[in-house]
A and B are shown apart, each in its own frame.
Chain A
Amino acid sequence: MNPVLVPTAPIASAERFGAYRQVTIQAPEIAASARPGQFLNICVQPGGVHILRRPFSIARADRNDGTVMIVFDPIGPGTQWLGAREKGDVVDIVGPLGHGFDVTADPGVDIIVGGGYGTAALSFLAAELEARGGTVHAIIGARTRTRVYEDAVLDESCASIAVVTDDGSAGVQGLVTDPMSEMIKRFAPRVVYACGPMPMLRAVAAVAAEAGVPSQLAVEEFMACGIGVCWTCILPIRSNGDLKHARSCTDGPVFEGEAVAWA
């Protein structure tokens, strides 16, 4: 379905989730078709010096109450502005944008690998995979305990969840790639789905490729427009041996790990 521009979407709830902000927005026309892996492009500081929208992965879409949820780290001026919005405030959003994760194969066993708030989009995906009759095993990681995103939906949708942190403050100390090889051997997944920082995605794709398992990665690139016209968010992709510059926004943001030509 086509994305829509909703200039005044009310915030239904805004709360803390560990170090992150979790914001739910009333936008029935977006919630109606939003899928895991797609994103919203949100205006931050309207009329201010930060003119560009910021992209946010969709962490939940509730068709019944017409809401979409995002989870983010209020780290820069744009995300801090958005993080200061409260219930009842309105935001200007465009979505749903991009292609989501491909879940059209027959239900089977899958592994999801999430880093930081990137896990939020995978929680949405896990729920969809589980609803389709699949079995989902999760590896979720972050720098520290307050940055691990583990919500109730993830707990309910996954058959197992392995937690890793850089500092060992939650789960096992290490990186998300540490338990990957063994879990792939044990569960023989069809696909590894991942969302998180680019260096993590690159490492996840390498481990999956090594084990001969296809991966789908939701990438994060600088985007000026998010709607396919500015060509700033390109990712180098190999297609039939040729190098191609694909747009993360409209050709992605989900790409097959083996197609990405990492710099």
Chain B
Amino acid sequence: MGVDLSISLGGARLTNPVVTASGCFGSGKEMSRFVDLKTLGAVVCKTVTPEARLGISPPRGAETASGMLNAIGLQNPGVQAFRDNDLTWLAERDIPAIASVGGQSVADYVRCVEALRGAKGLIAIEMNLSCPNLEDRGFMFALSAERTAEVTAAARAAAEVPLFCKLSPDVTDLVPIAEAAVGAGADGLSLINTTLGMAIDPLTFRAKLSTGTGGLSGPAIKPIAIRCVWQVHRALPHVPIIGMGGVAGVEDTIEFILAGATAVAVGTANFYDPAATETIARGLLDFCNMHGITSLDEIRGQVKIEG
């Protein structure tokens, strides 16, 4: 019997559950030198804002144990240039695209969503409510259920494709925020964004990032991501979740699906293994064949917890 890896993300059909994590894959052009984009479920693009942003000063990155810190500050060409260049490039190649939008006000998100109306090949929009590197971190939408609901409702009214809210693990209780997003009309959730971290050079006494703090990603944060997906899936079992945080191989992908994810996004692994996405997409099919899995629905959320 054949394996069917296709999934639905709030109505958007994907041929398989392997997608890219925003900010770790550009819009696919550079990565297409290393992977066949057709093998992926969709390309989730780097976050765009209403106007172009220069981003922050270097140094912007540092390696940490089994992970890395980054502080880019949402450098991007603005939503219109992104639509004209990046989305067009993907559409010409028939690659399903998920745009990621960001901003510092409800109006910013609405402007982005409106600017993306009617874009060819756009199958969903991810609302980046949790970038840890904006000037006013205290205003990060995903820290508050109320603000998450407010921005989601406004964007939902303006959007004509499924809307996913990308949330932060840096909260005391993620479930009420996830519920607020879904209650305000989110079609699904992207879990998780980077978690705020910091590293210091012991010889120079300098913080390794120009901003002091930055987002931690990579295998180091996978257990946090698995926990978040599991908690939210348990509370909202019918809401599709794109799971991410340290996905580097097929086993990680299976782990996320067992925790309750519908799709899995590959992020930091692209940096050190440019072929990771295609390798995982192809490997997932082999894994299912080998273990007699005909659809991922059979194992989604099926983690066994003894005791």
A228 within 8 A of B: yes
Chain B residues closer than 8 Å to A224, beta-carbon distance: 61, 63, 68, 70, 268, 271
Interface of B is mostly: loop
Given contacts A229-B25, A231-B72, contact A49 B62 (CB under 8 A): no
**Nearest B residue to A234 by beta-carbon distance?**
B58
B42-80 toward A: CB 8 Å interface, digit per residue (1/0)? Answer: 000010000000110111111101111010100100000
Say whether B75 contacts A234, CB under 8 Å. yes
For residue B89, give the distance in angstroms from its CB to the closest CB of chain A: 14
The answer for the CA separation of A231 and B26 in the assembled complex, in Å, is: 9
B219 within 8 A of A: yes
A259 within 8 A of B: no
Say whether B271 contacts A225, CB under 8 Å. yes
**Nearest B residue to A244 by beta-carbon distance?**
B54
Interface of A is mostly: loop
Chain A residues closer than 8 Å to B306, beta-carbon distance: none
A218 within 8 A of B: no
A132 within 8 A of B: no
**Nearest B residue to A94 by beta-carbon distance?**
B274
Given contacts A2-B33, A3-B33, A52-B68, contact A232 B61 (CB under 8 A): yes
Interface range, A side? 20 to 34
B218 within 8 A of A: yes
Chain A residues closer than 8 Å to B24, beta-carbon distance: 229-230
* B24, B26, B31, B219 — most chain A CB neighbours (10 Å): B26
The answer for the CA separation of A232 and B75 in the assembled complex, in Å, is: 10
B270 within 8 A of A: yes
A90 within 8 A of B: no
A87 within 8 A of B: no
B272 within 8 A of A: yes
Say whether B270 contacts A225, CB under 8 Å. yes
B30 within 8 A of A: yes
Say whether A230 contacts B61, CB under 8 Å. yes
A5 within 8 A of B: yes
Chain A residues closer than 8 Å to B60, beta-carbon distance: 222, 231-234
Say whether B59 contacts A222, CB under 8 Å. yes
Say whether A245 contacts B75, CB under 8 Å. yes
Contacts A51-B272, A221-B59 supplied; 18 other A-B pairs, CB < 8 Å: A5-B34, A51-B219, A52-B63, A53-B271, A222-B58, A222-B62, A224-B61, A224-B63, A224-B68, A227-B30, A227-B34, A229-B24, A229-B271, A230-B23, A230-B271, A233-B60, A234-B55, A236-B58
What are 25 A-B contacts defined by CB distance under 8 Å?
Answer: A2-B33, A5-B275, A51-B67, A51-B68, A51-B218, A51-B219, A53-B272, A222-B58, A222-B59, A224-B61, A224-B63, A225-B274, A228-B26, A228-B30, A229-B24, A229-B25, A230-B61, A230-B72, A231-B72, A232-B72, A234-B60, A236-B57, A236-B58, A244-B54, A250-B30
Where the two chains meet, the residues of B that have a C-beta atom closer than 8 Å to any C-beta of A are: 23-26, 30-31, 33-34, 46, 54-55, 57-63, 65-68, 70, 72, 75, 218-219, 268, 270-272, 274-275
Q: Which 8 A-B pairs have the closest CB atoms?
A: A232-B61, A225-B271, A228-B30, A229-B26, A232-B60, A49-B65, A224-B271, A2-B33
